[in-house]
Amino acid sequence: MAKDKPWGGRFTRPTDEFVEEFTASIDFDKRLYRQDIRGSIAHARMLGRQGIITAADVESIIAGLEDILRQIEAGTFDFSVSLEDIHMNIEARLSSNIGEAGKRLHTGRSRNDQVALDIRLYLRDEIKEVNDQLDQLIDSLLDQAESHLGDIMPGYTHLQTAQPILFSHHLLAYVEMFKRDKGRMADCLKRMNALPLGAGALAGTTFPIDREFVAELLEFPGVTRNSLDSVSDRDFALEFLSAAAILMMHLSRFSEELIIWSTSEFRFIELSDAFCTGSSIMPQKKNPDVPELVRGKTGRVYGNLIALLTVMKGLPLAYNKDMQEDKEPLFDTIDTVKGSLRVFAEMVRDMRINTDRMRSAAAAGFSTATDVADYLVRKGLPFRDAHEVVGKAVRYCVEASKDLPELTLAEWRAFSGKIDEDIRDAITLEASVNSRRATGGTALERVREEIERARNR
């Protein structure tokens, strides 16, 4: 019957059975139970402190909520679809267990500000976990960078050989990306870390509540400043989804490189068997399923961001039922990001690097052509003229099936009389790498410094 609902006083007919299932959120929002109970305990303490309910009621409510928490974590709590969501499931059980005191808990609040609180508490916990996992991935990258300090690989633009770089320098590029991802998560945390409880349904409450006291109990540095905004916006969740989408983009780019590097054509790395699968028909196959799947999961995280943006784009103030659709994209993104980070940290730590293959690839493809141009500039030739000279030398090598280090001094001097025997020392892989000493460059001394800097951070 409608009167059995916590809001049933206004209604004379029961909710349609399918509508009840269609509008319920308990199947997915039950994961908020810890946050819901924590928020309710803080709210009860405040109500008692303000004299809105008795001290005896507070004690009874807290004991009842702690008992429900134990039941949920023991798996003995039966969730009811008819009670719609995590809030009403807990409140109904509390009232059933402790009587009238349980019915007083909801004084001075609404499910609107309650769910806004639960999501913020939940997201605050999850952001900390995501950043912890980012630290683990960064540590894995730094371990590999330290282990292979000095090993040279080809750097690419347009996936064409460009210039030789240190493999460690390449890994540190991802360290920088993931450090920025941590920064975005921390920035998101700053903006969402305000207490919305006390906003009520949309206009605040007539009871003499102390929002700042609840904020202190729940470790919020402050409270939200507008009741309408408090219950009707989810920009903090959108900001998290946006930061998560960028993080997944970085993982996807890294995945693409690991997939390419592990091909028989490249053979730069070999992923551990623990992170690959085989073929049901081709016995020789070793497929990089983990990076492929992370690359694919990036799309669902993008989709979750667009989904919530679309939900929110046309909503008038304040709360609307549409906003129930905020949780599944958020939960799915959190699960996807955390799973991807966990598997990536372990996979990177265990991958084997084929340093000889990387070096031979770096030595091919005229990767030191720019160093020849720089050599000529130091001899007094304008860079554009030097660029043309080296371009002609490369064309000659292509036609003669040679590489630049194979040219004789006579062949070199046919392109420019400024070239002397010292050209050979100027275009070794080590000379090319170590000549790039400016901050952020690939020189060994710079890369060593950046590894130490990242460790210290």
157-189 pLDDT, tens digit each: 999 999 999 999 999 999 999 999 999 999 999
| Mean pLDDT calculated for residue range 385-391 | 96
pTM value > 0.75: yes
396-447 pLDDT, tens digit each: 999 999 999 999 999 999 999 999 999 999 999 999 999 999 999 999 999 9
The number of distinct structural domains making up the chain is 3
Residues 179 and 273 placed together within one structural domain of the fold:
yes
Give the domain-ending residue among 307, 332, 360.
360
Contact predicate 150/447, CB 8 Å: no
Residues 414 and 378 placed together within one structural domain of the fold:
yes
Tokens 């790395």 belong to 269
Contact predicate 145/166, CB 8 Å: no
Residues 332 and 385 placed together within one structural domain of the fold:
no
Query: Would you give the end-to-end CA distance of the chain in angstroms?
Result: 60
**Which tokens hold the place of 134?**
């980012």
pLDDT score for 6: 65
CA distance 273 to 346: 12
Please report whether residue 70 resides in a domain: yes
pLDDT score for 416: 95
Please report whether residue 438 resides in a domain: no
281-317 pLDDT, tens digit each: 998 889 999 999 999 999 999 999 999 999 999 999 9
Please report whether residue 278 resides in a domain: yes
Q: HSE-up of 175 (CA within 13 Å, CB side)? A: 25
Please report whether residue 444 resides in a domain: no
Residues 6+ apart with CB under 8 A from 253: none
User: 393 pLDDT exceeds 80?
Assistant: yes
> Any idea what the CATH number is for the domain that residue 330 is in?
1.20.200.10
Residues 183 and 67 placed together within one structural domain of the fold:
no
Residues 145 and 89 placed together within one structural domain of the fold:
no
Residues 101 and 116 placed together within one structural domain of the fold:
no
Residues 96 and 121 placed together within one structural domain of the fold:
no
Tokens 């939900």 belong to 311
Residues 193 and 285 placed together within one structural domain of the fold:
yes
| Mean pLDDT calculated for residue range 352-366 | 96
User: 335 pLDDT exceeds 50?
Assistant: yes
**Which tokens hold the place of 408?**
């004789």
- Report how far apart, in Å, the C-alpha atoms of 272 and of each of 69, 119, 195 are: 41, 38, 46
Residues 301 and 328 placed together within one structural domain of the fold:
yes
Tokens 């001290």 belong to 55
Residues 340 and 416 placed together within one structural domain of the fold:
no
Cα dihedral sign, 295-300-305-309: positive
Q: HSE-up of 296 (CA within 13 Å, CB side)? A: 6
Please report whether residue 215 resides in a domain: no
**What's the mean per-residue pLDDT of the chain?**
95
pLDDT score for 24: 81
Catalytic positions, please?
A: 158, 279
**Which tokens hold the place of 275?**
């992170």
Reduced to 3 states, what is the DSSP secondary structure of residue 53?
Answer: coil
pLDDT score for 9: 64
Around Cβ 102, how many Cβ atoms within 10 Å? 21
Give the domain-ending residue among 87, 107, 127.
107
Please report whether residue 167 resides in a domain: yes
With bands split at pLDDT 50, 70 and 90, how would you rate the model's confidence at 1?
very low
**Portion of the chain with pLDDT greater than 90, in percent:** 92
Which 3-state string (H, E, C) describes 3-64? Answer: HHCCCHHHCCCCCCHHHHHHHCCHHHHHHHHHHHHHHHHHHHHHHHHCCCCCHHHHHHHHHH
- Classify burial at 137, counting beta carbons within 10 Å of its beta carbon; exposed 0-12, middle 13-18, buried 19 or more: buried
Reduced to 3 states, what is the DSSP secondary structure of residue 101?
Answer: helix
> Any idea what the CATH number is for the domain that residue 47 is in?
1.10.275.10
Give the domain-ending residue among 85, 107, 129.
107
Containing structural domain, residue 277: 112-204+221-360
Residues 128 and 229 placed together within one structural domain of the fold:
yes
Would you state the torsion angle of the CA atoms of residues 263, 144, 253, 429, taken in this order, to the nearest 10 degrees? Answer: -70
| Mean pLDDT calculated for residue range 140-149 | 97
Please report whether residue 214 resides in a domain: no
Residues 236 and 356 placed together within one structural domain of the fold:
yes
Tokens 């003499």 belong to 208
CA distance 288 to 323: 38
Contact predicate 128/182, CB 8 Å: no
| Mean pLDDT calculated for residue range 236-259 | 98
> Any idea what the CATH number is for the domain that residue 418 is in?
1.10.40.30
Nearest residue to 32 via CA among 87, 81, 80, 76: 87
Please report whether residue 380 resides in a domain: yes
60-119 pLDDT, tens digit each: 999 999 999 999 999 999 999 999 999 999 999 999 999 999 999 999 999 999 999 999
